[in-house]
């Protein structure tokens, strides 16, 4: 989608055209859902977070900078929604806890024979990471933010962010070692 | 050179090191099989995450999202809204002054250009006090005026020894507050009140239209 298209869509939304917002949802829901899924670790929560993120985007669309692409803005919103959900569900300290969220179950033996897929395993191992690690992995690897941008978005010290990214990769590296 | 730390390996892969440090680490990696192996393990994580395909959505979320959208977005300070707000505020001020002119004619003072005016703050205060005794600010004002001389010394220090503030000075100053000019004829007032009503009707019509569109 060209930036001109996005701009005109947002302009129409600003003028009260809800169908234009529907068009934005169609174009970005997949990416927004995937970001939420990677962070929250299960489909139902991810779908709820996606809906909430789009509703927030609609409410605050007058704050959107028309000169920028809309996708990164939506991604920032959905990550914040996910963070809020994680914090509401558990105390902040529990964000370090590996058992904070129950991820979608690992495919059983029968399913494994069908979907014994490397990607399923990676997704499963991602969902097993402590939530604060999942957030930084999402922002660094999937949204390609710099360390500084991540620290700014999360409101955390740069050193903490780096440390979390490195530990998350270390954990993933150990768990994915045997993966062909 | 010692083996590289996990942080160094991570930053090497992230490309966040300076050129010279990057070059130094690269040289070490060229000669150290152990560090190269650890780098490979991290590189594998990068590759696996980069290759991860998107999970498909089970269904289109658009209908649910549109259903949950608020009827009206958060109010924004658009130029149109600012003009509407200004008009309504003007009408309110005008209406208050008209009411005051009718109910408090003794406050009206003659002016030079054929209009009559009065001191709006005093009228507003007296009206509020009579309607809501809790807003009776007269004792507060008197207390304030009585307190002023106590600060004479401080003010004289700041402004100069010749500067004196007295209670009558403040009362004089209060009486100099701007007086609103009100035309004698009531016609413009009715015109403005009529316009405000029209705006109100149009606003409600727009709200009804949005509501019916949202239901669709």
pLDDT single digits (tens) B139-178: 555 555 555 555 555 555 555 555 544 545 555 555 555 5
The pLDDT assigned to B82 comes to 72
* Per-residue pLDDT, B72: 58
Run of H or E residues at B89: helix B79-103
Residues 23-62 of chain A whose Cβ lies under 8 A from any Cβ of chain B: 25-26, 29-31, 33-34, 37, 43, 47, 50-51, 54-55, 58-62
Q: pLDDT confidence of B92, banded at 50, 70, 90?
A: confident
Cα–Cα distance measured from residue B150 to residue B166, given in angstroms and rounded to the nearest whole number: 10
Residues in chain A: 180
Q: What is the mean predicted confidence (pLDDT) over B115-136?
A: 52
pLDDT at B117: 43
Average of per-residue pLDDT values in chain B: 69
Name the percent of chain A lying above pLDDT 70.
82
> Looking up tokens 């991540």, which residue turns up?
A150
B70·A137 Cβ contact <8 A = no
Kindly list the residues from chain A whose CB atom is less than 8 angstroms away from the CB atom of residue B73.
16, 58-59, 61-62
Q: What is the nearest CA distance from B64 to chain A, expressed in angstroms?
A: 8
pLDDT of residue B154: 55
| Burial of B101 (C-beta count, 10 Å sphere; 0-12/13-18/19+) | buried
pLDDT of the residue at B197: 78
Rounded percentage of chain B residues whose pLDDT exceeds 90: 25
Which is higher by pLDDT, B85 or A10? A10
User: Which of B13, B16, B52 would best serve as a mutation to test chain A binding (most A beta carbons within 10 A)?
Assistant: B52
Asked if A66 is an interface residue toward chain B (Cβ–Cβ < 8 A), one would say no
Tally Cβ neighbours within 10 Å of residue A77: 21
- Of A82-96, A100-114, A116-130, where does the model show the most confidence? A116-130
From CA B37, how far away is CA A164, in angstroms rounded?
22
Please list every residue in chain B whose beta carbon sits closer than 8 Å to the beta carbon of residue A58: 69-70, 73
ipTM of the complex: 0.79
pLDDT band at A117 (very low <50, low <70, confident <90, very high): confident
- Quick check: B183 and B117 in contact, CB under 8 A? no
DSSP state of A140: I
Q: Whole-prediction pTM value? A: 0.59
Residues forming beta bridges with residue B166, ordered by sequence position = none
In B135-208, at which residue ranges do the beta strands (DSSP E only) sit?
A: 180-182
Q: Of A66 and B209, which is predicted with more confidence?
A: A66
Q: Compare CB distances from A55 to B58, B69, B210 and report the shortest one's residue.
A: B69
Structure tokens at B213: 């569109």
Whether A55 sits inside 8 A of B65 (CB atoms) is yes
């Amino acid at each position: 989608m060209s930036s001109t298209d996005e701009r005109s869509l947002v302009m129409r939304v600003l003028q009260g055209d809800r169908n234009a917002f529907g068009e934005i949802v169609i174009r970005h829901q997949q990416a927004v859902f995937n970001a939420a899924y990677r962070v929250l670790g299960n489909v139902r929560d991810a779908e709820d977070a996606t809906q909430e993120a789009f509703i927030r985007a609609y409410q605050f669309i007058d704050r959107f900078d028309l000169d920028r692409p809309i996708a990164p803005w939506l991604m920032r919103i959905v990550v914040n929604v996910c963070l809020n959900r994680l914090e509401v569900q558990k105390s902040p300290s529990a964000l370090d806890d590996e058992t904070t969220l129950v991820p979608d179950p690992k495919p059983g033996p029968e399913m494994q024979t069908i979907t014994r897929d490397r990607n399923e395993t990676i997704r499963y191992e991602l969902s097993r990471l402590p939530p604060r690690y999942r957030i930084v992995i999402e922002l660094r690897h999937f949204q390609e933010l710099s360390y500084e941008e991540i620290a700014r978005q999360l409101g955390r010290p740069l050193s903490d962010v780096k440390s979390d990214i490195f530990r998350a990769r270390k954990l993933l590296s150990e768990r994915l070692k045997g993966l062909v | 050179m010692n083996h590289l730390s996990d942080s160094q390996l991570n930053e090497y892969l992230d490309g966040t090191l300076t050129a010279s440090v990057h070059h130094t680490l690269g040289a070490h990696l060229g000669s150290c099989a152990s560090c190269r192996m650890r780098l490979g393990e991290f590189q594998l994580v990068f590759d696996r995450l980069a290759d991860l395909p998107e999970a498909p959505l089970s269904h289109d979320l658009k209908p649910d999202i549109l259903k949950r959208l608020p009827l009206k977005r958060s109010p924004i300070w658009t130029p149109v809204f600012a003009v509407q707000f200004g008009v309504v505020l003007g009408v309110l001020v005008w209406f208050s002054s008209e009411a005051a002119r009718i109910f408090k004619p003794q406050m009206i003072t003659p002016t030079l250009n054929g209009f009559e005016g009065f001191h709006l703050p005093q009228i507003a205060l007296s009206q509020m006090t009579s309607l809501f005794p809790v807003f009776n600010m007269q004792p507060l004002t008197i207390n304030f005026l009585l307190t002023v001389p106590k600060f004479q010394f401080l003010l004289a220090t700041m402004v100069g020894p010749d500067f004196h503030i007295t209670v009558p000075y403040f009362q004089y100053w209060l009486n100099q507050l701007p007086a609103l000019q009100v035309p004698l004829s009531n016609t413009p007032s009715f015109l403005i009140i009529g316009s405000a009503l029209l705006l109100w009707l149009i606003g409600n019509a727009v709200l009804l239209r949005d509501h019916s569109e949202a239901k669709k």
